[in-house]
């Protein structure tokens, strides 16, 4: 049996300790760098960075000088954060998981990084991504079972949180690249409503779909960081007011038929547990045309991937990995009219899904985060179909740890809210967590 590397750390606990001065930032940096030196040669969650220790010590000194009094320290004071290597960070090269010259990919620092730094965080380093956040996997291993994939494309971010290298990491999702690796690595992944965290400063994959998200060890960590990163955050309830238990919908039909039988049994047991706890759960036929939803999403995705990489691919096509090059070539063959038709199809689908939720009185949709546990091997990042329709629609989603396969691999419960309803999604997911675990 492979040795587990799982040691997740609570963001809320760690942030509170750092604000109070325990541990001091110098000691915290030393601990982090020592942990990376010991664990990451096997895990390979972080992009190698000469001088990481000195850079973080300098950031620690800067923070300590700026915020000498605990009472004045910002919410993420000193917290080490992993940042996916398609997100630009001043002073760190962006490789995008590729062998293209880093200077070619350079760009201004991402807005999400500006917000992390304003909240007092330290960028621990760049985390490994599948090449350009597509399908060619990086070298990262799953902390639960190092011979298995951590999922992709935000592989390094999910694995770094699960292994306790950092309590918070940034990822992106175009189809399933936050929700799936969160499930495979047994952590929480939060992908907000499309556009809620500005995407500026991120290498694009498919701009009509690309969405920033976060990984934390638990739901409380996601609730702490979401208001700091998302635009126009408003609490779901006034101070002290309880949030009502949601009405949950399970989308029956071809969409749910993707799930492996054993994983589906675990999911249904979780649903039954919610019902026993008094949560209303309604079965709603949804996505009867799931194959067509996937096809239309693929038109948009591949067309925009090819357009995003048109200049780089023309100059450096020979440096792209075969999987990425193949996807770009598929996109080059998609007509602009097909992409526009895909976007029109999406508008109709939005109306259908919103109408189905309203007719059934559904607040949140529930589904497995992935069809099963993390596949064996590092040659594939796993199927993204369980996230595909929600990502296509731009709806906010969470993956919560929810049981295991018979051989001990983590499974996730995907909880999906209404567009713009990120605050309520997090608050109502906390109700589900309390009543059913």
Query: Which residues are designated catalytic?
Result: 84, 153, 177
Residue 226, classed as helix, strand or coil, is helix
**Cα of 170 vs its chain's centroid, Å:** 7
- Give the distance from CA 180 to its chain's centroid: 8
> Cα(47)–Cα(140) distance, rounded to whole angstroms?
10
- Alpha-carbon span 16 to 288, nearest angstrom: 47
Distance between CA 31 and CA 350 in Å, rounded?
47
Cα of first residue to Cα of last residue in the chain, in angstroms, is 28
**3-state secondary structure (DSSP) of residue 217:** coil
Residues 112/211, Cβ–Cβ less than 8 Å = no
H helical segments located in 84-140: 102-105, 111-118
As a whole number of angstroms, the distance between CA 7 and CA 97 comes to 25
Q: Judge whether 20 and 103 are in contact, CB under 8 Å.
A: no
Q: Is 67 helix (H, G, I), strand (E, B) or coil?
A: coil
Q: Which two tokens stand for residue 289?
A: 């045309």
CB contact set of 331 (below 8 Å; sequence gap of 6+): 301, 302, 303, 304, 305, 306, 307
**DSSP H helices in 179-259:** 179-185, 219-229
Question: In this structure, are strands 397-404 and 410-416 parallel, antiparallel, or unpaired?
Answer: antiparallel
């Amino acid at each position: 049996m492979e040795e587990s590397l799982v040691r997740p750390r609570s963001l809320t606990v760690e942030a509170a300790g750092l604000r109070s001065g325990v541990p001091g930032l110098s000691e915290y940096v030393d601990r982090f760098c020592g942990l990376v030196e010991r664990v990451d040669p096997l895990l390979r969650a972080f992009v190698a960075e000469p001088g990481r220790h000195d850079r973080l010590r300098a950031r620690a000194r800067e923070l300590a000088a700026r915020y000498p009094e605990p009472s004045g320290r910002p919410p993420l004071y000193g917290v080490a954060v992993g940042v996916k290597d398609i997100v630009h960070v001043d002073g760190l090269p962006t490789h995008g998981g590729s062998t293209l010259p880093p200077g070619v990919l350079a760009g201004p620092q991402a807005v999400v990084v500006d917000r992390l730094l304003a909240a007092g965080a330290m960028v621990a380093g760049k985390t490994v991504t599948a090449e350009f956040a597509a399908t060619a996997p990086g070298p990262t291993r799953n902390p639960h079972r190092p011979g298995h994939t951590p999922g992709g494309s935000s592989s390094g971010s999910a694995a770094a949180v699960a292994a306790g290298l950092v309590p918070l990491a940034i990822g992106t999702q175009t189809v399933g690249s936050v929700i799936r690796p969160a499930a495979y690595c047994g952590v929480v992944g939060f992908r907000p409503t499309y556009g809620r965290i500005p995407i500026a400063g991120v290498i694009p994959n498919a701009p009509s779909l690309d969405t920033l998200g976060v990984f934390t060890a638990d739901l409380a960590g996601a609730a702490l960081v979401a208001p700091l990163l998302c635009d126009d955050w408003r609490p779901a309830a006034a101070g002290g007011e309880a949030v009502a238990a949601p009405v949950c919908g399970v989308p029956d039909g071809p969409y749910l038929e993707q799930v492996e039988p054993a994983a589906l049994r675990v999911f249904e047991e979780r649903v039954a547990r919610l019902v026993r706890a008094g949560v209303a759960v309604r079965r709603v036929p949804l996505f009867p045309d799931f194959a067509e939803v996937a096809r239309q999403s693929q038109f948009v995705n591949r067309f925009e991937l090819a357009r995003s990489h048109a200049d780089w691919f023309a100059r450096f096509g020979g440096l792209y990995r075969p999987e990425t090059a193949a996807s770009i070539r598929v996109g080059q063959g998609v007509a602009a009219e097909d992409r526009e038709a895909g976007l029109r199809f999406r508008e109709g689908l939005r109306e259908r899904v919103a109408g189905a939720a309203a007719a059934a009185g559904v607040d949140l949709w529930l589904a497995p985060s992935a069809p099963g546990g993390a596949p064996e091997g590092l040659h594939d990042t796993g199927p993204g179909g369980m996230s595909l329709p929600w990502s296509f629609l731009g709806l906010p989603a969470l993956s919560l740890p929810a049981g295991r396969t018979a051989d001990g691999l983590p499974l996730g419960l995907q909880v999906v809210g209404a567009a713009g309803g990120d605050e309520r999604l997090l608050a109502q997911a906390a109700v589900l967590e309390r009543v059913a675990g």
